[in-house]
């Protein structure tokens, strides 16, 4: 692999470019060069004009205790391997299944986790010409082909997923902007489907298939303008978040087929989306180079993150490093060093109690509980960013009982400061003295907050906007989503920066011009599509749909590291590691702190030392 070669050669500037390890508050993440998956020849794939490399995992619960399986596509090829993760080196000479396709390329895939066994798995594969295949890579069978004659949709499959909790239903989105609900038991028919309108709303419509006998697709969703780039189900499976080339995030109540809320990107199309483990927040990324955090309950943008230098291709929450803790175990005081020592000593393993504590956070219990969500993003700039979403962002109108986070908070009206100052007291200054509110109400926003830490809208404005939104959506249900779906883990806390106004205005001008250049040079056809949209971007900027840069907190990444030569297309958080992949066809495993284990010590002599950052 290229990274090991460069490290072995000690190659000066190049070696510093690609990181093989990075440090966060919880410790050091290390690239396991022997756990790299790729095509068997390990040759970098010439990715010109080919579809993004994607990765899917499934656990088949076999007796050996190594039940993890990995599937990935590179160009026209699809591979299925035993995934050994941090435990053993990858053996690429023995794929369980390998397929090479002619005339079309795989674009995405998804395993059905409900039905997976050691003898059989159901894998859906979407293709560039619009077809969907159902295969069993263990039995090496191809059971069904959907949209075979391309009568349903002729455009590229952009995303497909099994409907949560279902053994037979799956949802497929296309570059046409349409989404289709299929049942594996039904056929697609020999003629093009005829549709009947079921429901229509602002910039979306849903049709049922008109036919004498039940056939696929069961439903056809038309969402927004241009390609529907990705969608994701909420942890409880009740809601669906979609991001489109028109720059909109749209969240639907899936069963009721109703619009719950919308958000507009700062600029350009949105490319990726994910839900927090408890379903309370959605993060989206795209062509504005930003990650945007949207509150499901409040239906508004609560923060943006700036760290990428190009389009953001994947966002994902880390279920294992999302933490919940009660406020009384310890007070933090003293110097930064003391703070870090205390943090390292504190909460080595809070794993088992995270779930119960999160439900306390959502109950009416008056004991304050602090929550930190960890999420990550990768982009076309070949960089990995990790972010922490802390309670001073989530609940800006709640006083903090103690100083917990390293925070750099500047009011938008404060004079510019030359250097970034990390301080332990600013979170109290920003939050503690500004509000008497006790609980985060859905429509409550304090008007006395500094502009840097909350949206400068009165509660009345927000309430009106939310009510209007609900009226448009046909009364979509805005109740909270399943609280207990959070996975457990250990976390440390965020570095947050709110830039002053001057920096932001400069940033805004740069961002809009820069991204316009991106779109016109890279995809003039998409630009034409965007100009046809009903919503004028100039009218949405500065509204709840798309707040100005200075109106919401701007997060800075905990880490932002270049980890590949080609654009990154995959980021998946697993219990022992995180997995990334780039367009050259290399799937990399990064061991979490303390999880390097046997593999590393066995191969220490031959593995690169990496760049400590």
User: Tell me, what CATH number does 201's domain have?
Assistant: 2.130.10.10
**CA atoms lying within 13 Å on the CB side of residue 550:** 17
Q: Nearest-CA neighbor of 499 among 545, 548, 560? A: 548
Say if residues 565 and 18 touch (Cβ distance below 8 Å). yes
pLDDT at residue number 266: 95
Say if residues 42 and 1 touch (Cβ distance below 8 Å). yes
In a domain, 291, yes or no: yes
> Is residue 194 domain-shared with residue 257, that is, in the same domain?
no
Total-model pTM: 0.72
> Is residue 122 domain-shared with residue 210, that is, in the same domain?
yes
> Is residue 156 domain-shared with residue 206, that is, in the same domain?
yes
Say if residues 412 and 550 touch (Cβ distance below 8 Å). yes
Q: Nearest-CA neighbor of 199 among 226, 183, 222, 173? A: 222
In a domain, 317, yes or no: yes
> Is residue 267 domain-shared with residue 388, that is, in the same domain?
yes
pLDDT at residue number 325: 67
In a domain, 259, yes or no: yes
CB burial string 97-111: b at 16+ within 10 A, e below: bebebeebbbbbbbb
Q: Nearest-CA neighbor of 29 among 581, 579, 603? A: 579
In a domain, 137, yes or no: yes
> Is residue 259 domain-shared with residue 375, that is, in the same domain?
yes
> Is residue 143 domain-shared with residue 258, that is, in the same domain?
no
> Is residue 155 domain-shared with residue 266, that is, in the same domain?
no
> Is residue 42 domain-shared with residue 84, that is, in the same domain?
yes
Say if residues 440 and 395 touch (Cβ distance below 8 Å). yes
> Is residue 204 domain-shared with residue 284, that is, in the same domain?
no
Burial label for 583, CB within 10 Å (0-12, 13-18, 19+), is buried
In a domain, 243, yes or no: yes
> Is residue 61 domain-shared with residue 131, that is, in the same domain?
yes
In a domain, 415, yes or no: no
pLDDT at residue number 142: 77
Say if residues 242 and 252 touch (Cβ distance below 8 Å). yes
Say if residues 83 and 58 touch (Cβ distance below 8 Å). no
Range of the domain at 171: 37-176+178-223+575-596
Q: What share of the chain is helix, strand, coil (3-state, %, to 5)?
A: 20, 35, 50
> Is residue 215 domain-shared with residue 266, that is, in the same domain?
no
Q: Parallel, antiparallel, or unpaired: how do β-strands 554-555 and 300-306 relate?
A: parallel
pLDDT at residue number 511: 43
Into how many domains does the chain fold?
Answer: 2
In a domain, 477, yes or no: no
Rg (CA), the chain: 24
Low-confidence ranges of the chain (pLDDT < 50): 1-16, 327-357, 359-367, 400-533, 598, 600-613
> Is residue 281 domain-shared with residue 311, that is, in the same domain?
yes
Q: Nearest-CA neighbor of 165 among 256, 233, 221, 108? A: 233
pLDDT at residue number 259: 97
Say if residues 226 and 531 touch (Cβ distance below 8 Å). no
In a domain, 449, yes or no: no
């Amino acid at each position: 692999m290229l990274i090991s070669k460069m490290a072995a050669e000690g190659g000066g500037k190049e070696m510093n470019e690609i990181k093989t390890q990075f440090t966060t508050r919880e410790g050091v993440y290390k690239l396991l060069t022997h756990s790299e998956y790729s095509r068997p020849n390990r040759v970098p794939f010439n990715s010109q004009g080919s579809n993004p490399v994607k990765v899917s995992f499934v656990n088949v619960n076999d007796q050996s205790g190594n039940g993890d399986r990995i599937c990935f596509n590179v160009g026209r090829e699809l591979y299925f391997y035993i995934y050994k993760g941090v435990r053993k080196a990858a053996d690429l000479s023995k794929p369980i299944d390998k397929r090479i396709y002619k005339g079309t390329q795989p674009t995405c895939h998804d395993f059905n986790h409900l039905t997976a066994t050691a003898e059989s798995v159901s894998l859906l594969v979407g293709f560039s010409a619009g077809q969907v295949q159902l295969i069993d890579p263990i039995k090496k069978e191809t059971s069904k082909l959907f949209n075979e004659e391309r009568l349903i949709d002729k455009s590229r499959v952009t995303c497909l997923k099994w409907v949560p909790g279902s053994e037979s239903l799956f949802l497929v989105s296309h570059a046409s902007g349409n989404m289709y609900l299929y049942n594996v038991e039904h056929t697609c028919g020999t003629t093009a489907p005829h549709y009947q309108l079921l429901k229509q709303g602002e910039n979306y419509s849903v049709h049922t298939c008109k036919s004498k006998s039940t056939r696929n697709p069961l439903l056809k969703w038309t969402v927004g303008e241009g390609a529907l780039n990705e969608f994701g189900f909420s942890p409880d499976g009740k809601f669906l978040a979609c991001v489109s080339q028109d720059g909109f995030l749209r969240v639907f109540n899936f069963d009721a087929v109703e619009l719950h809320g919308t958000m507009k990107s700062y600029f350009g199309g949105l490319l990726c989306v994910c839900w927090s483990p408890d379903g309370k927040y959605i993060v989206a990324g795209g062509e504005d180079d930003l990650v945007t955090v949207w509150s499901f309950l409040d239906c508004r943008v609560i923060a943006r993150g700036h760290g990428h230098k190009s389009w953001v291709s994947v966002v994902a929450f880390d279920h294992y490093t999302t933490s919940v803790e009660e406020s009384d175990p310890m007070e933090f005081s003293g110097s930064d060093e003391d703070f870090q020592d205390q943090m390292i000593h504190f909460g080595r393993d809070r794993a088992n109690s995270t779930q119960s504590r999160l439900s306390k956070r959502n109950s009416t219990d008056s004991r304050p509980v602090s929550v930190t969500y960890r999420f990550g993003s990768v982009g076309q700039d070949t960089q990995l960013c990790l972010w922490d979403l802390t309670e001073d962002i989530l609940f800006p109108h709640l006083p903090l009982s103690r100083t917990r986070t390293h925070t750099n908070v500047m009011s938008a009206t404060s004079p510019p400061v030359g250097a970034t100052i990390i301080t332990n007291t600013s979170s109290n200054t920003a939050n503690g003295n500004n509000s008497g509110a006790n609980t985060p109400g859905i429509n409550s926003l304090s008007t006395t907050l500094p502009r840097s830490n909350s949206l400068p809208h009165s509660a009345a404005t927000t309430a009106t906007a939310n009510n209007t939104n609900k009226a448009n959506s046909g009364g979509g249900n805005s109740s909270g989503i399943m609280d207990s779906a959070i996975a457990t883990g250990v976390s440390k806390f965020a570095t947050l920066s709110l830039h002053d106004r001057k920096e932001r205005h400069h940033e805004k001008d740069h961002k809009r011009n820069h991204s316009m250049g991106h779109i016109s040079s890279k995809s003039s056809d998409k630009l034409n599509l965007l100009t046809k949209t009903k919503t004028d971007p100039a009218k949405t900027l500065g509204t709840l749909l798309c707040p100005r840069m200075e109106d919401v907190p701007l997060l800075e990444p905990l880490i932002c590291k270049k980890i590949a030569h080609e654009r990154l297309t995959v980021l998946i958080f697993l219990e022992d590691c995180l997995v990334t992949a780039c367009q050259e066809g290399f799937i990399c495993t990064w061991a979490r702190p303390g999880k390097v284990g046997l593999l590393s010590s066995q191969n220490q002599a031959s593995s690169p030392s990496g760049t400590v950052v």
